[in-house]
Structure 1
Amino acid sequence: MTDKRFGALILAAGFSSRMGKFKPLLSLGDELVIERVLKVSKSVGIKDIVVVTGYKKEALVPIIRRQGAREAFNPDFEKGMFTSIQAGAAAMPSDLDGFFIMPVDCPLMTGAVLEGLIGQFEEDRFCVPCYRGKKGHPLLVPITYREEIICHDGTNGLKAITDRDPEKMKRIEVDDEGVVMDMDTPQAYEEIKAYLSRGCRSESLTALAAGRRFFLIRHGQIRQHKEKIFLGQTDVPLSGEGRQQAAAAAEKLASIPLQTDRIYASDLLRASESAQIIAQHIGEKKLIMEPGLREMNLGPWDGKFISQIKQEYPEEYQRRGRDLMTYKMGNGSENFFDLQYRVVKTLIKILKEDQNRDLILVAHSGVLRAVSNNLRGKDIAEPWDKLGNGQMETIDRI
């Protein structure tokens, strides 16, 4: 480490409602999740470790004490994670240089990542690890923000502070997928255990795609609105022209000898309708609707007229124009790197389950950009020849 002093704020107060089991006490290898996060904190010399408790605190306190950490009980834990962050920040010594915020449900944080963030520390900037552009955990917070966090009224949570000025967020790219893996659901927990069993190595899209042929088809045109809208996961049907575009794509596909018995599509209406039309033209194909192929989630902007966005969020709209790849429109929304991570994970899952040579994907522009660029060894931020409605791109990895 350096001569600077850092603390660790470990969040372990929640109900674990989506998981169904109390996450801090789940096993990873030969240790509990809470033990793993505590040990990683100590491995880089951190001595000021605070674990915020709430639900089932009595089960955690003996472990916390045994590991030499301190407990900060959050009586308001039912009100959400930010109240736990505030409780932990209040328990942090004010003479530290900074502290890590470490959600216990992100247990794959490593000492190497923590040391990397410490090495990049600046006293007026947040520091966050990113995997292929996607922000992960832990967040390193300068102590100068401690009082503001404690006194904040909770509106928009921690993001109200961290996202206020993009220049104050230092993004550190790491070759470690573990920083973006959480265990909010049983499926995610199984993915984390599988990742550990592989020696913390990510699955290779390149290897899985070898010998395959991909047909990427953008959905047909949607029913037109009186003016242009921000369209992400808002569900809208095809127009008459859009149905014709899907049929034209099907005719092109029908002229190709295909080695597959299925079509994968986003489950949003404009893509699923397009896939159904294509299936009708190319013979009996099983339709598999895949939520992981949905377009980007645009949060509170989704489905609104662009003129309305410009009027209601003028500064945010300008900022999105400057930071197109990374900007997010509030809690629950996605940026391009979030979309890429979700889509590539979905594609890897499909390739592992489907042994057919050919894959037909009917989806959206952002999704197909992620698929096409990644199959070509590129990133979503790199240029892509955008497909028009009903157009098809073929990628041959045979």
Structure 2
Amino acid sequence: MVERETNRSLHVGGLILAAGLSTRMGQSKPLTKFLNKNLIDQTIKTMYDAGIGNIKVVTGYEQERVESYLQTNYSADCIYTIWNPNYENGSILTSIKTGLPELKDFDYVFIQLVDLPCILPETYLKLWETMLASGKKAVIPTVDERRGHPVLIDMSLLPEILSYENAAGGGGLRGFWKQLGDEFLEVPVTDRGCIMDTDTKDQLREAERYLNQYRKADSISHKIDEE
């Protein structure tokens, strides 16, 4: 698990939002094939690779299929599902409010959408290091000044998030981040996976090509370093 060495371990959890209706994709996004597995598998793998071992998944659309898949393929000690009964309203804020209380014992939580499979573990680590160094309450990556995912929050914000009602911009916490003022920090990164949505099948194929190319280049780089 991602930690820093102090007299008290700082525990970090992960929240994956996988409740959406998947209207543009036309099928359950978490169970949509991606490379040799599914989108949900890739998102979980990235969190694991970043050292996050306790992950909650908020389900909604096709809840039974998604939860059955996760229960079959993952240990309940590491992956726990929570159903969002209000998933049909289309706001991720309802999923965040449903899932975050299940992580109340953690000091920090990464919030991640299930349909951004190309984010690199290194980005999680950079956000974590920035959070500790800056002392901010929330940090978010940006690519070419465009905000992406994941978001890392200090769980001292939980009461404020649960009481927040203004889904500004029609989709969640934009207004809340603005409300935080100087306690919110944008972190420029070069990881284009942070903004690479997979809302359609064409975008999905593009994301597969991108990640394959990255892995190939990374493998070559490591081989050169070893020579």
TM-score bin, normalised by smaller chain: 0.7 to 0.9
Question: Are 2:81 and 1:71 aligned?
Answer: yes
Q: What amino acid is the match of 2:36?
A: D
Alignment match, 1:131: 143
Unaligned runs of 5+ in 1: 202-398
Name the structure 1 match of 2:7: none
How many pairs were matched up? 201
Q: Aligned residues: percent identity?
A: 29
Contact kept, 8 Å, 2:120 with 2:191, in 1: the verdict is no
TM-score (norm 1): 0.48
Q: Distance in 2 between matches of 1:84 and 1:31?
A: 24
Whether the aligned pair in 2 keeps the contact of 1:16 and 1:23 (CA below 8 Å) is yes
Question: Residues 119 and 192 of structure 2 are in contact (CA less than 8 Å); yes or no, is this contact kept in structure 1?
Answer: no
Equivalent residues in 2 for 1:361-372 (5 A)? none
Q: Match of 2:99, SS?
A: helix
Secondary structure at 1:197's aligned position in 2?
helix
1:26-53: per-residue Cα shift (whole Å, max 9, x none)?
1221111101111211222223211000
Shift of 1:196: 2.1
TM-score (norm. length: structure 2): 0.81
1:108 CA drift (Å): 1.2
Aligned partners of 1:154, 1:90: CA distance in 2, in Å? Answer: 19
Residue deviations 1:72-109 (CA, integer Å, cap 9, x gap): 110011122110111011211x2312101100011112
3-state SS, counterpart of residue 19 of structure 2 = coil
Relative contact order (alpha carbons < 8 A, sep ≥ 6): 1 or 2 greater?
2
Look up the equivalent residue of 2:139 and give its one-letter code.
C
Q: Does the 8 Å contact 1:8/1:101 carry over to 2?
A: yes
Superposed counterparts of 1:235-250, under 5 Å: none
Among residues 73, 90, 93, which one is paired with 2:101 in the alignment?
A: 90
Query: Any residues of structure 2 matched to 1:255-274 within 5 Å, and which?
Result: none
Shift of the 27–118 alpha-carbon distance from structure 1 to 2, 3 Å rule, reads: same
- The aligned counterpart of 1:294 is none
Q: Does 1:161 align with 2:176?
A: yes
1:174 aligns with 2:186: no
Residue identity opposite 1:121 in structure 2: M
CA distance in structure 2 between the aligned counterparts of 1:112 and 1:45, rounded to whole angstroms: 10
Tell me the equivalent position of 2:219: none
Does 2:23 match 1:17? yes
Write out the 4+ residue segments of structure 1 that deviate beyond 4 Å after TM superposition. none
CA contact (8 A) 1:35 1:63 kept: no
Going from structure 1 to structure 2, the CA distance change for 1:100 and 1:37 (only over 3 Å counts) comes to: same
Query: 91, 104, 110: which one pairs with 2:114?
Result: 104
Offset at residue 62 of structure 1 (A): 2.8
Counterpart secondary structure, 1:199: helix
CA distance in 1, matches of 2:208, 2:95: 27
> For 1:184, what is the secondary structure of its paired residue?
coil
Q: Indicate the residue corresponding to 1:2 in structure 2.
A: 3
Q: Does 1:187 align with 2:187?
A: no
Q: Residue in 1 aligned with 2:123?
A: 113
CA distance in 2, matches of 1:6, 1:30: 28
Q: Alignment RMSD, CA only? A: 2.0
Cα distance, 1:154 vs. partner?
Answer: 4.5
Which whole-Å CA distance do the structure 1 matches of 2:136 and 2:188 have between them? 19
List per-residue Cα deviations over 1:234-262 (Å, max 9, x = no partner): xxxxxxxxxxxxxxxxxxxxxxxxxxxxx
The one of 25, 38, 61 aligned to 1:32: 38
Aligned residue in 1 for 2:223: none
Residues 5 and 46 of structure 1 are in contact (CA less than 8 Å); yes or no, is this contact kept in structure 2?
Answer: no
- Larger helix fraction of residues: 2
Unaligned runs of 5+ in 2: 5-9, 217-227
